[in-house]
Amino acid sequence: MKKTNRLEGTVKAPPSKSYTHRAVIGASLADGESRIINPLWGADCLSSVHGCRMLGAEITLDKEKDEWVVKGGKLKTPDNIIDIGNSGTTLRILTSIASQIPKGYAILTGDDSIRRRPMQPLLDALKQLNIEAFSSKLDGTAPIIVKSGKIDGNVVKIRGDISSQFITSLMMLLPFNREDTEIILTSPLKSKPYIDVTLDILNKFDIKIDKTENGFLVYGNQKYKPINYIVEGDYSSASYLVAAGVLINSNITIENLFANSKQGDRAIIDIVKEMGADIKVKKDKVVIDGEYSLEGIDVDVKDIPDLVPTIAVLGCFAEGKTEIYNGEHVRLKECDRLRACAVELKKMGADIKEKPDGLIIRGVKKLKGAKLNTYHDHRLVMAFTVAGLKAEGETIIEGEDAVNISFPNFVDVMKSIGANIEIKR
């Protein structure tokens, strides 16, 4: 890609990855037919479709109507291992759900990255509920073997600081317990807005969960009710459009972004505003019109880990210091994203230092084109693309196809507003 001086046009934010996962998995647990409208056709969500099918759901994908029809409620023992590719959300949620198959075992595994992601806190939690689930390598990572079993117990303790997906996973399992179950968090919760997203959609499935002083109370003996559900736009994906819009002279409208969304990554709007970009937020869209000069800020990323690469790129072009903190869990994603941002953006001339929990970036305003490694990580491809469009000269992003994970038409969308990107095969 090459430096781009102007972006113009109207685009639609892709559907939410987090909501699509939860909608298809919840629908697979509901006895009857559900429709998921405007789902994310990204590889991660298709991993959830695959996993749910292997566990017994009948799912029809209708490209023309842009909807998925799910007939759920009857779990079966998978007749093969379940390969969930690159999707942490799928692995974490389905590990718990797989315990409800009628007999035998389910084996969940995925790509090189997924087989390094932490699972032990979830496996330990399931053990407290008398569910047997273990790492085949006995090192707390996938492949994970889950034995069919009845949930037994009414308290489960789990740490909240490694991944909120463990808690989402328990929340989706525990309605099947005969008794009410209390989830007690033994360390402060990180990525909390993802739990709010879980509670929001579980409420649509008629699943009742209360907040307690130390965690949550999941009522027992509940049934998932089928739903017709329209998936809203994704703020994490939109963050690349927002960042490009505020860094480059633009007049762009990003549709399908709802101001009242529960997604934590809606924070991208407040972040760019605090940096000095006076963008306009409407009920269901965001308008970026003009050219802004940005100032560095401090950002607590405890609840917004997926925005880190975007914020790192914004910081490179801002005046003064941008400090990202409270992001230890950002190292546990598709790759160590703190290290990757520091190593790769330095190749473009960025002044960026890695700390145990974040990054310190001193704005240099000008970056130079470079060849960047993206470690098969979709968020790095998209954030580095934004950096490349603002940098002098040519930037080469390796492994561009990783965008299929969460934003399959990213390159086309960027090109449609004027981004100077060429795919070389």
Ligand X SMILES: O=C(O)C1=C[C@@H](OP(=O)(O)O)[C@@H](O)[C@H](O)C1
**How many residues line the site for ligand PEP (CB under 6 A)?**
9
DSSP state of 226: P
Among 110, 134, 139, smallest CA distance to 124 is for: 134
**Interface residues with ligand X (CB under 6 A)?**
18, 89, 163-165, 168, 191, 194, 305-306, 329
| Shortest CB 93 distance to ligand X, Å | 8
Query: Positive or negative CA dihedral for 313, 319, 321, 325?
Result: negative
Give catalytic status of residue 306 as yes or no: yes
Buried b (16+ CB within 10 A) or exposed e, 178-192: eebbbbebeeebbbb
Judged by beta carbon distances under 5 to 8 A according to partner kind, the member of ligand X, ligand PEP, none in contact with residue 379 is: ligand PEP
| Shortest CB 325 distance to ligand PEP, Å | 19
3-state DSSP call for residue 255? strand
| Shortest CB 274 distance to ligand PEP, Å | 23
3-state DSSP call for residue 206? coil
**130 in the Ramachandran plot: left (φ > 0), alpha (ψ -120 to 50) or beta?**
left
- Residue 71 or 92: the one with the smaller Cβ distance to ligand X is 92
Query: Positive or negative CA dihedral for 303, 306, 307, 312?
Result: positive
In order of 32, 197, 378, 380, 410, the CA distances from 398 in angstroms are 44, 32, 11, 10, 15
| Shortest CB 178 distance to ligand PEP, Å | 30
Judged by beta carbon distances under 5 to 8 A according to partner kind, the member of ligand X, ligand PEP, none in contact with residue 50 is: none
Among 302, 301, 319, smallest CA distance to 310 is for: 301
Query: Positive or negative CA dihedral for 111, 116, 122, 124?
Result: positive
Q: Does 44 bind ligand PEP (CB under 6 A)?
A: yes
Choice from 22, 333, 376, 390 touching ligand PEP (CB under 6 A): 333
**164 marked ligand binding residue:** yes
| Shortest CB 289 distance to ligand PEP, Å | 29
Judged by beta carbon distances under 5 to 8 A according to partner kind, the member of ligand PEP, ligand X, none in contact with residue 194 is: ligand X
Report whether 55 contacts 28 (CB < 8 A): yes
Q: Which residue stretch of 77-85, 86-94, 193-201, 410-418 sits at the interface with ligand PEP (rule: CB under 6 A)?
A: 86-94
Choice from 406, 407, 413, 421 touching ligand PEP (CB under 6 A): 406
Choice from 85, 88, 245, 418 touching ligand PEP (CB under 6 A): 88
Catalytic residue among 306, 351, 377, 412, which?
A: 306
**258 in the Ramachandran plot: left (φ > 0), alpha (ψ -120 to 50) or beta?**
beta
- Residue 35 or 337: the one with the smaller Cβ distance to ligand PEP is 337
Q: Does 15 bind ligand PEP (CB under 6 A)?
A: no
Residues 6+ apart with CB under 8 A from 148: 77, 99, 100, 101, 102, 103, 104, 105, 106
Q: Does 256 bind ligand PEP (CB under 6 A)?
A: no
Count CA within 13 A, CB hemisphere, residue 50.
20
Report whether 149 contacts 131 (CB < 8 A): yes
Choice from 7, 379, 384, 395 touching ligand PEP (CB under 6 A): 379
Q: Does 16 bind ligand PEP (CB under 6 A)?
A: no
- Residue 53 or 192: the one with the smaller Cβ distance to ligand X is 192
**236 marked ligand binding residue:** no
Q: Give the H or E element holding residue 174.
A: none
Binding residues for phosphoenolpyruvate: 17, 88, 117, 165, 337, 379
Residues annotated in the binding site, as ranges? 17-18, 22, 88, 117, 163-165, 191, 306, 333, 337, 379
Q: Which residues form the interface with ligand PEP (CB under 6 A)?
A: 44, 87-89, 306, 333-334, 379, 406
Query: Which residues form the catalytic set?
Result: 306
